[in-house]
Amino acid sequence: MKRLKLKLKGKKVLADKTMAFQFDLKGADFKFIPGQYIGVYFEILLKKDPLGNIKSFSMTSTPRDNFLEVGMRMRPSGFKETLDSIKIGKKIEIEGPYGQFTLPDSAKRPIIFIAGGIGIAPFVSIIKHVTENNLPYKIKLFYSDKNLGSMTYLSDLEKFKKKSEGLNYIITLTGKNLKNWQGSTGRINKRLLKNHLVNVKNPLFYISGSPDMVYDIRQLLLSLKYKEKDIRAEEFAGY
């Protein structure tokens, strides 16, 4: 584990109640693999947070960037209010990287990403990395959220898709009043997966989202006769 103090380089609104925070890596010795996460730590919070003074966030940046970026839903918690109050240029303590939610060394098997909400975060880093380096992975992404206003990195995904023949993504919205939406609606279910995976042989699955979403998708994949050893998951508890 490595603990560093990095300057807050920037912050921006990604979507409804969702923000990205960037930490400057200039002069820092920090290496990571796309798909990994970091811990952000505060010794003192603006107000008490029952979930503690440290939280984990998947990085959406890549090793080519001169900054670390994390995306998160903003909730009225002591931790996130403290983070949002930090001024640009001030240092924040981070630790890591952690996790093995990363691509296999070989690109022979097709990769299936399944994301719910801000669970898209690690996949943004991985897909951007694949695109930047022209890697031969075949990736299909299923991405679900309430509505387009709450979805993040859509414009980035479209750019990545144009640059990479191996990337395809399917969006489904679960909210109400989706009058102008012509795509899929409802949660990611057996029919949606079967329709888009009918010709996909021997895939490797990655699931990222809330604990309930991860559990449901895992059970769904098992019911479709995919093997447990071919399913990897990352939960965003309390995100």
Same domain, residue pair 151 and 226: yes
The 10s digit of each residue's pLDDT in 131-174 is 999 999 999 999 999 888 888 898 899 999 888 889 999 999 98
The 10s digit of each residue's pLDDT in 110-119 is 999 999 999 9
Q: How many CB atoms lie within 10 A of CB 70?
A: 24
C-alpha span between 59 and 31 (Å, rounded): 12
* pLDDT for residue 67: 96
Same domain, residue pair 83 and 123: no
HSE (side-chain half, CA atoms, 13 Å) at 198: 5
Structure-block tokens of residue 39 = 């811990």
Same domain, residue pair 198 and 170: yes
> Does the residue 105 lie in any domain?
no
* pLDDT for residue 62: 97
* pLDDT for residue 239: 47
> Does the residue 106 lie in any domain?
no
* pLDDT for residue 51: 86
Say if residues 178 and 185 touch (Cβ distance below 8 Å).
yes
> Does the residue 103 lie in any domain?
no
* pLDDT for residue 237: 59
* pLDDT for residue 148: 86
- Per DSSP, the residues of 100-169 read -----S---S-EEEEEEGGGGHHHHHHHHHHHHTT----EEEEEEES-GGG--SHHHHHHHHHH-TTEEE
> Does the residue 104 lie in any domain?
no
CATH number for position 88: 2.40.30.10
> Does the residue 223 lie in any domain?
yes
Domain boundary among 74, 98, 122: 98
Q: What is the pTM of this model?
A: 0.94
Domain residues for the domain of 189 are 111-235
Domain boundary among 98, 120, 152: 98
Length of the chain (residues): 239
Same domain, residue pair 115 and 91: no
> Does the residue 87 lie in any domain?
yes
Same domain, residue pair 125 and 86: no
Same domain, residue pair 88 and 193: no
Q: Which amino acid is at 90?
A: K
Same domain, residue pair 67 and 34: yes
User: ∠216-123-114 over CA atoms, to 5°?
Assistant: 25
* pLDDT for residue 176: 82
**Splitting the chain (239 residues) into consecutive groups of 10 residues, what average pLDDT does each group show?**
90 92 94 96 91 92 96 90 95 95 96 95 96 96 90 90 90 84 88 94 96 95 96 75
Same domain, residue pair 85 and 126: no
Closest by CA to 64, choosing from 117, 15, 134, 120, is 134
> Does the residue 160 lie in any domain?
yes
Domain boundary among 65, 98, 131: 98
Same domain, residue pair 90 and 123: no
Same domain, residue pair 133 and 199: yes
Same domain, residue pair 90 and 13: yes
Same domain, residue pair 204 and 119: yes
Count of the separate structural domains present in the chain:
2
CATH number for position 160: 3.40.50.80
Sign of CA dihedral 100, 105, 109, 115: positive
